[in-house]
């Protein structure tokens, strides 16, 4: 038995990953990624970039994607707690426009595997959070896109965190219907 349990969600290709931790009175140890274990379960990615951000409660980042250089992402929380969301934008997918979300926290140590062809976003539920993720494609700033975080046609059930804090870019993203984006 490996150190990962891969749980496919209601959307094909999106996984919640539970990670085995080893702890004692000194703290804990865990593997966060092991290529052979991921490949053995059909998650065959070559990650080329790692990113990390910090945010305060109520910050909502998303829903983001890259238009011509889509990224698969393996996301996790180092400190605090977030609600993380993936929205299916794959052309011809039975679940196009549907979303799946998961609470990621430093306590549950879960990870979220989001394949290419999805919009991604999260909201910070704790007072502070540090968020890290691996990408299988480099970030291209000129290629970024987004859809509005509260598009009623998608209907994401965001947790109540009080005031939502958005970047100027995230305030003006179009709806999914207006963006007409499909991968």
Structural domains present in the chain = 47-179 (2.60.120.10)
Backbone angles phi, psi at 113, to 5 degrees: -100, 115
What pLDDT, on a 0 to 100 scale, did the predictor assign at position 38? 97
Rounded to an integer, what distance in angstroms lies between the CA atom of residue 80 and that of residue 149? 21
Tell me the catalytic residues: 64, 133
- 10-52 residue pLDDT tens: 999 999 999 999 999 999 999 999 999 999 999 999 999 999 9
Residue 83, by phi and psi: left (phi above 0), alpha (psi -120 to 50) or beta? beta
Low-confidence ranges of the chain (pLDDT < 50): none
- pTM summary value: 0.96
Q: Which residues of 65-92 are buried (b: 16+ CB within 10 A; e: fewer)?
A: bbeeebbbbbbbbeebbbbbbbbbbbee
């Amino acid at each position: 038995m490996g150190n990962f349990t891969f749980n496919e969600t209601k959307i094909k290709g999106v996984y919640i990953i539970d990670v085995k931790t080893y702890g004692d009175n000194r703290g804990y140890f865990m593997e966060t990624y092991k290529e052979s274990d991921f490949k053995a379960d059909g998650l065959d990615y070559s990650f080329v970039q790692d990113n990390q951000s910090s945010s305060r409660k109520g910050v909502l980042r998303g829903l983001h994607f890259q238009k011509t250089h889509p990224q698969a992402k393996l996301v996790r929380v180092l400190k605090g707690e977030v609600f993380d969301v993936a929205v299916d934008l794959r052309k011809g997918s039975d679940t196009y426009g549907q979303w799946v979300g998961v609470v990621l926290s430093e306590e549950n140590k879960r990870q979220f595997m989001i394949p290419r062809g999805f919009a991604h976003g999260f909201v910070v539920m704790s007072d502070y959070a540090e968020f890290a993720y691996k990408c299988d494609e480099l970030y291209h700033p000129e290629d970024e896109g987004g859809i509005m975080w509260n598009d009623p046609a998608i209907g994401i059930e965001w947790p109540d965190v009080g005031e939502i804090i958005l970047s100027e870019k995230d305030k003006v993203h179009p709806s999914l219907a207006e963006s007409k984006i499909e991968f």
